[in-house]
Amino acid sequence: MTDTFDICCTSVINGTKYVFRIPLTRALWDDAKEQWRTEFLDTCRLRCAAQIYRETGVELTEQQTAGIVAVPDGTERSAELVAQLVTVQLHGGPLDGQSVAVDPEDPEPGIGILGPGCAYPGGRSWYEPDTEGRWTWQHDIPWGQM
C-alpha cells in the first residue's frame, strides 16, 4: 500500500471529461473524522471548478460545483457517472454574451447565476431557454427568494 493516493474530481462539459487529481497522504485521510473528509472533498470540488474555469472560461454554478464527483481513487464511486453539462450563451440581462454550463437533462430548465449587474446584492440573474433554445434573461431574484 502506498503512502499517498489521489482524490479524483470529475466533470464532463461539452463531451470533454475533466479530471482533476489532488494528492493526499493515506494516514491523514484514514485518521480524519467524517466532517473533515466531507469538507476536504468540498474544497476539492471548488479547486476542480476553478481549474475548469481556467481551462475553458466556463464558470460553474454552486450547484454544478457541488455535483462534481470527488472521491478517493480506487473506491467504488470513483467510476461513477457524472453530469453531462453543455455550454450555452446567455442573451440579455446583466450577463449578456457570457457562456455558462447547463445540464440538458434537467427537467426544469433554467439557471440562477450570481454575478455583477444583478438588481439585488447577493441575488441571482435568472436565464431560461426560449422556444428556439436560446437562453434569455427572465428577471433577477433577491437572495431571500431563492
Judge if 9 and 71 occupy the same domain: yes
Domain that holds residue 68: 4-79
Place of cell 471529461: 17
Q: Are residues 59 and 110 in the same domain?
A: no
Tell me which amino acid residue 15 is.
Answer: G
Per the structure, the count of domains in the chain is 2
Read off the pLDDT of residues 63-111 as tens digits, 9 standing for 90 and up: 888 888 888 876 655 555 676 888 999 999 999 998 888 888 887 888 8
Q: Are residues 136 and 112 in the same domain?
A: yes
pLDDT in tens, 1-50: 568 888 888 888 888 888 888 898 888 888 889 999 899 999 999 999 99
More confident residue, 138 or 56: 138
Tell me if 6 sits within 8 A of 24, measured CB to CB.
Answer: yes
Of the residues 21, 53, 79, which one is the last residue of a structural domain? 79
Domain boundary, last residue among 79, 114, 137? 79
Q: Are residues 71 and 10 in the same domain?
A: yes
Q: Which long-range contacts (CB under 8 A, 24 or more apart) does 138-145 make?
A: 138/93, 138/110, 140/93, 140/94, 141/112
Residues 117-144: tens digit of each pLDDT: 889 988 999 999 998 989 999 999 998 8
71 and 125 part of one domain: no
pLDDT of residue 93: 93
Please tell me whether residues 71 and 95 are part of one structural domain: no
User: Is the domain of 22 the same as that of 50?
Assistant: yes
Q: Domain check: are 23 and 75 in the same one?
A: yes
Q: Supply the pTM of this predicted model.
A: 0.71
